[in-house]
Amino acid sequence: MTRNHVDTAIVGGGQAGLAMSRELTMRGIDHLVLEKGMIGNAWRTARWDSLRLLTPNWANGLPGRPYGGPSFHGFMSATEFAESLTRYASFISAPLVENVCVHGARALPGGFELATSEGPISCRTLVAASGGAVRPVVPAMATAVPKHVFQTDPGSYKRPSDLPDGGVLVVGASASGVQIARELQLSGRRVTLAVGTHVRLPRNYRGRDIEWWLDAIGALDESLDDVDDLTRVRRTPSPQLIGGTDPVDLTALNRLGVEIVGRLTDIRGGRALFSGGLAHLCQAADLKLGRLLDRIDIWAAERSPGAALMPSTRPSATPLPTAPRLSLDFGSGEIASVVWATGFRPANEWFRDLPVFDRRGRLVHDGGIVAGAPGLYVLGLPFLRRRRSLQISGAGPDTRDIAHHLDLHLRHNAAA
């Protein structure tokens, strides 16, 4: 790295960081993209072997570079997507510096200074683009799991053979949890899945991929002004989908033999304790699914009455066990491993010294614009500016908005 001052430093070389680089290049803004590993580092190092993107290939284009491969309706592996990011960086001539760790950031008059493994870098504006799904969240109760039980999470889990022989408790029924539970059950393990709040979606509906429908009805482009409770929406779990045509909702897992139990509430005395509210959680997910399919049917009737669509065949209600168990004894030998599929959080540690977090440690921003540190922007977070923000297709719209604000900030400061 030869420069220690730029107008803009972008931390993160994934889809959001590279899309922002393209926007800044088009605006003539001098910048660097800093990546702690290779391009798409998290896709290469923190994903399990069988993972494929939840969105079909046609939905994974980046600004100026739509998908042009041979498998339009297929699903890329994590490594394939990382390689596509490498090609995209070359396509846009991104000023990228790989294998640079950013350790900290401090505010300076008119900008910021980054402490990096290659020395300090000063910048007038700063973009945190490492995304929202970086650090797996493991609850504090994990410390109460007996030491003879192996524990892992979706950032460390690679394949079933990594786990010791025996049954597995998977905690969390969003995309990561249901996919890992399915893979482990098919490998011959006996899997118990602890289910919390979840989003049930069909992979296909009326002959079209669900992603096509969400885009067509405008759901993915709903903005900050279109939702009543932004905090709740930003915490919405990832849907129960897999990168392929196989169903992975609770109905499908139940048919495979996965035992479904309620939310894990505590671990005491060597026992895992589960909530008795499983029926309520499943009924809520089924109700929301029905509302979405109603919306799709109305849109299809109004906008595409002559389209060649398959009839509306809806998934049946989630089957519930007659009496789901409320506890599990780790001392019985039934469970040899626990997989904590309990969500992810951003990697914000490097700018923790900036006054941009609330009392709970949550970043305070308005659509990616951080008022507590003028000139600081964030990208790749859930519902940053619209519902598709966390998807690959959301990188383009969000970076255009943020780049416009960033450009105005630079121009205003230069004039001042």
Both 197 and 68 in one domain: the answer is no
Both 308 and 410 in one domain: the answer is no
Both 141 and 129 in one domain: the answer is no
pLDDT mean over 120-134: 92
Both 214 and 286 in one domain: the answer is yes
Residue 136: closest CA among 85, 80, 180? 180
Tokens 């923000």, residue located: 389
Both 129 and 148 in one domain: the answer is no
Q: Which two tokens stand for residue 286?
A: 């089924």
pLDDT(64) > 60? yes
Q: What is the DSSP code string of 185-245?
A: HHTT--EEEE--S-----SEETTEEHHHHHHHTTGGG-BGGG-S-HHHHHTPPPPS--SSS
pLDDT mean over 19-37: 97
Q: Which two tokens stand for residue 368?
A: 């990616």
Given 276, 310, 340, the domain boundary residue is: 340
Q: Which two tokens stand for residue 285?
A: 């997910």
CATH of the domain at 390: 3.50.50.60
Residue 165 pairs with which residues in a beta bridge? none
Query: 133 pLDDT band (50/70/90 cuts)?
Result: confident
Both 50 and 109 in one domain: the answer is yes
pLDDT(2) > 70? no
pLDDT(161) > 90? yes
pTM, entire model: 0.95
How many structural domains comprise the chain?
2
pLDDT mean over 100-123: 96
Percent of the chain whose pLDDT exceeds 70: 99
Q: Which two tokens stand for residue 229?
A: 């409770």
Handedness of CA 228, 378, 172, 40 (dihedral sign): positive
Residues 195 and 263 sit within 8 Å (Cβ to Cβ): yes
Query: 237 pLDDT band (50/70/90 cuts)?
Result: very high
Both 54 and 68 in one domain: the answer is yes
Both 257 and 320 in one domain: the answer is yes
Both 101 and 186 in one domain: the answer is no
Given 317, 340, 363, the domain boundary residue is: 340
Given 288, 323, 340, the domain boundary residue is: 340
Q: Tell me: the pLDDT tens digits for 295-349?
A: 999 999 988 766 778 888 899 999 988 889 999 999 999 999 999 999 998 889 9
Cα gap 148→333, rounded to integer Å: 10
Q: Tell me: the pLDDT tens digits for 174-209?
A: 999 999 999 999 999 999 999 999 999 999 999 999
pLDDT for position 1? 55
pLDDT for position 416? 73
Both 376 and 333 in one domain: the answer is no
Q: Tell me: the pLDDT tens digits for 358-408?
A: 999 899 999 999 999 999 999 999 999 999 999 999 999 999 999 999 999
Q: Which residue range is the domain that position 323 belongs to?
A: 137-340
Both 251 and 386 in one domain: the answer is no
pLDDT for position 229? 94
Both 102 and 237 in one domain: the answer is no
Mean pLDDT, rounded, of the chain: 95
